[in-house]
Amino acid sequence: MTDRPFHSSHAETLAVSLGRPPREPDAPFNEPVHLASTFVAGGEREYGRYGNPSWAAFETVLGALEGGTCVSFASGIAAISAVLDLVPHGGTVIAPRHSYTGTIAQLRDREAAGRLRALLVDVTDTAAVAEACGDADLLWFESPTNPALEVADIPALVAAARAHGTMVAIDNTFATPLLQQPLALGADLAVHSATKYLAGHSDVLMGAVVAADASVAEQISGRRALSGAVPAPLESYLALRGLRTLPVRLERAQANARELARRLDGHPALEEVRYPGFGAIVSLVVRGGAEGADAFIDRVQLWIHATSLGGVESTLERRRRWPSEAPTIPEGLVRLSVGLEHVDDLADDLLAALG
């Protein structure tokens, strides 16, 4: 019996049906965890740093969801590092001033070593970013940004970059391919911290780059082999297991986030409720600065005080507790990662803690 390929463009179907072993009698439904450092010679993999069927299954599914060729990594930051390695020596990278702090740290580190020049911009200032593309090698951005939740005009920025031959990479961690597909919008690369929504259960560190062009994907997988930042087989298995349910998880989390943003809007203890209209991250600016925000966090019972995001559990964090967070982020900004609990319980806990 052979596979009967069924063609679909629906994310729900792709997430569930792809990346499975061939349908043969007694075959398992899921690609097993292939614990292997080496493979019998004569094939394409040869050694565990060059390939593993457990990664390949995850890459098949994420590649299909993003519409490109996926290369998975040991973490999101390893994926980001591999993309920045594509920038020629002395090249210029444009990135939002409110990028993920680890991205800024990578740019700063490379800049200090004389590797590249980083130009940090307000990603909502479309005209300024478009103009800066003139002499840039890479336009890197996130949309929405973390944790300011600014949304970029992606088609306009991609068009400006294209006009100048500037490569475009979009960190799609917050939106996921279900809410935004960078490659379909004209970007060259979509980058992920699979640690967050894709894996979704706060138990895995993993990352990925999805390239529109297969030869660029090959270059990136070459970087992965050189750096050794390969994903582990067990993590790959868990991340794919998470990815199977991403559509239903995200639907619930987004509905909860939307409803919480609505219920919290105008609360007297809050200066601001930021919600970009999609996704499951809400940022609150609590009155009373750092002190007011910390007191609020101390009082919640259901929500977990923790960094990171995108798990089934609802978590919250005052971002400026990290010295590396951008000084333009308000001291009292608390980022909510809305999970899958009942929305009334999530709201009750927050409202009680706000007093």
Ligand X SMILES: *Cc1c(COP(=O)(O)O)cnc(C)c1O
Catalytic residues: 49, 100, 171, 196
Among residues 46, 132, 51, 60, the alpha carbon closest in space to that of 97 is found at: 132
**Sole binder of ligand X in the list 92, 180, 195, 314 (CB under 6 A):** 195
Please give the Cα distance from 3 to 237 (Å, whole number).
22
**What is the nearest approach in angstroms of ligand X to the Cβ of residue 13?**
27
9, two tokens:
């463009």
Q: What is the dihedral of CA 40, 52, 30, 26, to 10 degrees?
A: -10
**What is the nearest approach in angstroms of ligand X to the Cβ of residue 209?**
12
138-142 and 91-96: which strand pairing?
parallel
| Per-residue contact flags (x/-) with ligand X for residues 299 to 338, judged by CB under 6 A | ----------------------------------------
**What is the nearest approach in angstroms of ligand X to the Cβ of residue 14?**
23
| Per-residue contact flags (x/-) with ligand X for residues 32 to 71, judged by CB under 6 A | ----------------------------------------
Could you tell me which stretch among 1-9, 56-64, 108-116, 191-199 binds ligand X (CB under 6 A)? Answer: 191-199
Cβ distance to ligand X smaller for residue 140 or 343: 140
| Per-residue contact flags (x/-) with ligand X for residues 99 to 118, judged by CB under 6 A | -x-x----------------
Could you tell me which stretch among 151-159, 181-189, 190-198, 274-282 binds ligand X (CB under 6 A)? Answer: 190-198
Q: Hey, is 85 helix, strand or coil?
A: coil
**What is the nearest approach in angstroms of ligand X to the Cβ of residue 27?**
32
Neighbours of 125 (CB within 10 A): 14
Could you tell me which stretch among 14-22, 189-197, 219-227, 257-265 binds ligand X (CB under 6 A)? Answer: 189-197
Cβ distance to ligand X smaller for residue 70 or 353: 70
Residue sitting closest to ligand X (CB): 76
- Look-up: residue for tokens 């949304």? 151
Neighbours of 194 (CB within 10 A): 30
Cβ distance to ligand X smaller for residue 82 or 161: 82
Number of chain residues interacting with ligand X (CB under 6 A) = 15
77 belongs to the binding site for ligand X (CB under 6 A): yes
333-337 and 281-286: which strand pairing?
antiparallel
Could you tell me which stretch among 5-13, 51-59, 167-175, 322-330 binds ligand X (CB under 6 A)? Answer: 167-175
137 belongs to the binding site for ligand X (CB under 6 A): no
232 belongs to the binding site for ligand X (CB under 6 A): no
- Look-up: residue for tokens 């499951």? 280
How is the chain split among helix, strand and coil, in percent rounded to 5?
Answer: 40, 15, 45
Q: How many residues does the chain have?
A: 355
**Sole binder of ligand X in the list 207, 233, 311, 339 (CB under 6 A):** 207
Please give the Cα distance from 8 to 298 (Å, whole number).
47
Among residues 217, 193, 195, 190, the alpha carbon closest in space to that of 86 is found at: 217
Task: Give, for 339, the enclosing helix (H) or strand (E).
Answer: none
Cβ distance to ligand X smaller for residue 166 or 173: 173
**What is the nearest approach in angstroms of ligand X to the Cβ of residue 77?**
4
333-337 and 315-318: which strand pairing?
antiparallel
196 belongs to the binding site for ligand X (CB under 6 A): yes
Cβ distance to ligand X smaller for residue 142 or 317: 142
Please give the Cα distance from 294 to 223 (Å, whole number).
41
Q: In angstroms, how far is CA 226 from the centroid of its own chain?
A: 23
121, 129 Cβ separation under 8 angstroms: yes
75 belongs to the binding site for ligand X (CB under 6 A): yes
98, 146 Cβ separation under 8 angstroms: yes
> Which chain residues interact with ligand X by CB under 6 A?
75-77, 100, 102, 142, 146, 171, 173-174, 193, 195-196, 205, 207
